[in-house]
Amino acid sequence: MVNFIRFSSLIINTAKISRIEIQENKYFIHIMSHNIDGFFVFTNGYINTNHEKIEVCKVQHPTDYDNLTEWINKNS
């Protein structure tokens, strides 16, 4: 089952969230990207996956902040 978080101007598929940073009056949602960068030489190398970061601030977006707080409390 796919779950979503609805914000005033955005809907996020929760399966794409890699982590949420919780700071005072602010959340940073890190979304997994489909872009993969890196290199391999023989058997050595690295892969770098980029993450998009979305800021949800209690002062600037109080409704979105409350929705995310409710979702976090329900799912933790």
* Residue 68: how many other CB atoms lie within 10 Å: 21
pLDDT over 80 (residue 55) = yes
The pLDDT of residue 45 is 64
**Structural domain boundaries enclosing 17:** 4-75
pTM: 0.74
56 falls in which pLDDT band (50, 70, 90)? very high
Q: Report the pLDDT averaged over residues 10-24.
A: 92
Among residues 75, 55, 56, the alpha carbon closest in space to that of 65 is found at 56
* Residue 42: how many other CB atoms lie within 10 Å: 5
Beta strand ranges found along the chain (DSSP E): 4-6, 11-13, 17-23, 26-41, 44-57
User: Number of structural domains, the chain?
Assistant: 1
